[in-house]
């Protein structure tokens, strides 16, 4: 039996889109075309990028559809963008939003 071809090289399959880099608080993370900013952050192991005003609790991606506003982030200098709705783009600069207590974004 012949060895199987990886899907990316099988005849008739288009090549996989190339990943690209974006910056999160000065750290380079990788994203793929079609990913939201929130999805790219979660894939990179970042689970929270802002804190609540009152108790400083970490917040990140929650509903993933733009309803809850837990995933607010600064994108290319524009504050309060919903990470779950913003498409990731090459060279994008993301900054965690800190409200209330100044805490670092939590990582896995």
Give the Cβ contact number of residue 42 at 10 Å: 19
* Ordered domains of the chain (ranges, CATH): 19-94 (3.10.20.440)
Q: How does pLDDT run across 63-92, given as a tens digit for each residue? A: 999 999 999 999 999 999 999 999 999 999
Output the pLDDT for position 17. 83
- The end-to-end CA distance of the chain, in Å, is 42
Residue 21 has pLDDT above 80, yes or no: yes
pLDDT-derived band at 99, boundaries 50, 70, 90: very low
Place of tokens 């939003």: 97
Strands, DSSP E only, in 2-96?
A: 20-24, 27-31, 50-51, 58-59, 72-75, 78-82, 93-95
Q: How does pLDDT run across 24-34, given as a tens digit for each residue? A: 999 999 999 99
What is the separation of C-alpha 23 from the centre of its chain, rounded to a whole number of angstroms?
10
Give the SS3 label for residue 31.
strand
Give me the chain's average pLDDT, please: 85
Output the pLDDT for position 26. 96
pTM as predicted? 0.76
């Amino acid at each position: 039996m012949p060895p199987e071809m990886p899907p990316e090289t099988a005849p008739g399959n288009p090549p996989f889109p190339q990943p690209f880099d974006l910056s999160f608080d000065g750290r380079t993370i990788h994203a793929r075309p079609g990913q939201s900013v929130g999805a790219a952050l979660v894939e990179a192991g970042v689970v929270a990028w802002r804190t609540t005003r009152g108790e400083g609790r970490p917040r990140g991606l929650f509903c993933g559809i733009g309803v809850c506003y837990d995933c607010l982030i600064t994108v290319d200098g524009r504050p309060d963008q919903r990470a779950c709705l913003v498409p990731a783009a090459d060279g994008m600069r993301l900054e965690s939003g800190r409200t209330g207590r100044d805490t670092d974004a939590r990582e896995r």
